[in-house]
Structure 1
């Protein structure tokens, strides 16, 4: 595995192909980072209220809310994870209030539908507003009085296919705003996104299409000058079966009589049907493991620090998130 030092990173952007569990990984990473008494903000920008569902809390407003405590570390007190659901309309109203003092006037624009019009007709502006709020959370200033100063911000970002477009807001605005405050904000945001304080982590599973999309995503991020972080391999199957037994299962040469005898010693009436079913499941598992090992080799060739998270048999609940957070902490990402 490629060694990495993430201590300088303040903004962890988590992306991945749909179905790989990027939101789960982002939440686990936030919990893992919230140690040594650190304050961590977990943000989402896709409007799905995924954070609220994962942490079993009410739908999040456009406000930073404390949702969990982080992992304990070396006997020290845990940190705190806050969450923020960012929508472009609220981000624009906050921007107008902070920089132009348009409190009531901004809300009037919202009632007249001007905000929705502006963020719909110009998608580039929408992304500037979303990323601008993330930037503000990372680099707090005196305009946001009394706001928490975070040690780290984790962004549950759009999928890999859109991540470079989402983060590379300068290019999105090239034909729309060459000067002015929106362009100035985009330029300021890009100074953070292209700095060592940002890392874009890519989540995948050990299947051909997600791994290929991860490779394509890394190449595209490099092309636009955005900092590539780690590759996080999610939903990895248990590897507690000996290689020789896996080979035998794949070849169909497992000893059926021995399996039946083992079942009998455990007090289970095997019967031919049960033994045959177990042999079929063993073959399916061995085939899946062989495919995973082939894709693991492809991931290793990507040249990025790589971390693996197990498939949780009971599904992902809050306890499962803490398990994954502990794994990321142990492996050195959090």
Structure 2
């Protein structure tokens, strides 16, 4: 799961994990940015560098979580391939691990993705997958392709040996039918543009793009005819512009022009307004009065609320038009699109489970059925375990054209 910062990709990743678990799956939810975002969403203690169960679903499934630490992933790698043990921990204290991942970011990414792919392919003693699905809260769209396209990232580091072999194994998982990269966006210009750019980059890299998930969608409160009417900047005020009314609504002063302008005998305003605007203001004031929000007298509460409400209607109409334009841009990508509604301010566990149910109903899940062992459809049956490269690393021979395929 990726997306522009601020789109709620971590929340959507957590909701997707719960949606999968609701269908009886055992799911791993992993993060790689060391922000402890999963722990915050599930309102639990900081996650350790071990997998642990953090939620159960009504369908009988479970969500386990893992916060992957880059330094610890490097130590695991050094211990796996070079048996450094305590020496590796000493390197960490000296800052050598942090230095290595800084000067060679490709190394960091291949080890982080490798940890996730190992969980994807891990089997129990009976040969069944330990997890039915793995959901990764990945880096933002601005660097998702570099993060996942580990072959290119390590090309300058190693052309043979364990790092090269691990990158090859990771790419076999990432490019298999078992994997889908979903992008989270908002119906706003910048997030949508970044989503479109991200999809184009992923496609050029040959990485499998899944769905676009539009988050925090707000309802449309007006009919199309009303939207067109309220978009007219002169339709909401009698004298003065809609911009004046909006400005007055924001600073709490209302529109002086709108209050003082008087309609002429033919119903039109004596400024920029129209007879329809005068009628609308009168109707809104009357409705507010009937709802108990002040009396019908001039200058009362009902009349003072008219301008702010009309300004909000104008802003709502403008926003709806913009969102429809962004929907059209997203549709042009030719991908499945799912929408998640906005649940007020903030997100608690109850809201997270509602998002999960919405995703489940929209059939966003692209994964194998729960409990099915790996088979031919996974595209991975010929892929050796990532750890196998450790057994072969000493036998690497650049002159042997079959060496890479064996490993």
User: How many Å separate the matches in 2 of 1:210 and 1:127?
Assistant: 24
* 1:20 corresponding residue in structure 2: 7
Deviations 1:123-182 (A, max 9, x none): 11000110010111111157x99x981111111111111011000000011111111101
Moved more, 156-165 or 258-267: 258-267
Contact 2:286 2:302 in 1 (8 A): no
Task: Identify the residue that residue 324 of structure 1 maps to in structure 2.
Answer: 355
Question: Structure 1 residue 88 and structure 2 residue 88: aligned?
Answer: no
How far did 1:318 drift?
1.3
Q: Which residue in the other structure is 1:292 paired with?
A: 323
CA distance in 2, matches of 1:19, 1:152: 25
- Structure-2 change in CA distance of 1:126 and 1:330 (3 Å): same
Q: Between Structure 1 and Structure 2, how many residues are aligned?
A: 315
Larger relative contact order (CA 8 Å, sep ≥ 6): 1
Distance 1:112 1:141, change over 3 A: farther
Structure-2 residue corresponding to 1:175: 156
**Cα offset, 1:105, TM superposition:** 3.8
- Does residue 1:233 correspond to 2:220, yes or no? no
Listed as ranges, the matches of 1:29-68 within 5 Å are 29-68=16-55
Compared with structure 1, are the counterparts of its residues 193 and 208 closer, same or farther at alpha carbon in structure 2 (3 Å cutoff)?
same
For the residues of structure 2 that align with 1:68 and 1:50, how far apart are their CA atoms? Answer: 15
Once the 2 structures are TM-superposed, how far is the Cα of residue 99 of structure 1 from its aligned partner?
5.0
1:151 aligns with 2:132: yes
Give 2:231's aligned residue.
Answer: 250
TM-score, normalising length from structure 2?
A: 0.73
Gaps of 5+ in 1: 1-13
> What residue is the counterpart of 1:3 in the other structure?
none
Return the offset for 1:102.
4.3
Q: Give CA-to-partner distance per residue, 1:62-120, whole Å, 9 cap, x none.
A: 111211123x3xxxx33111111111111122234445554434333323333222222
- Give the aligned CA root-mean-square deviation in angstroms: 2.2
Q: Are the aligned partners of 2:211 and 2:338 in contact in 1 as well (CA < 8 Å)?
A: yes
Distance 1:312 1:283, change over 3 A: same
In the alignment, which of 200, 208, 215 is matched to residue 181 of structure 2?
A: 200
C-alpha distance in 2 between matches for 1:279 and 1:78: 49
Find the residue that maps to 2:187 and give its secondary structure: coil
Instruction: Find the aligned partners of 1:284 and 1:115 in 2 and give their Cα distance.
Output: 52
For residues 188 and 313 of structure 1, the distance between their equivalents in structure 2, rounded to whole angstroms, comes to 43
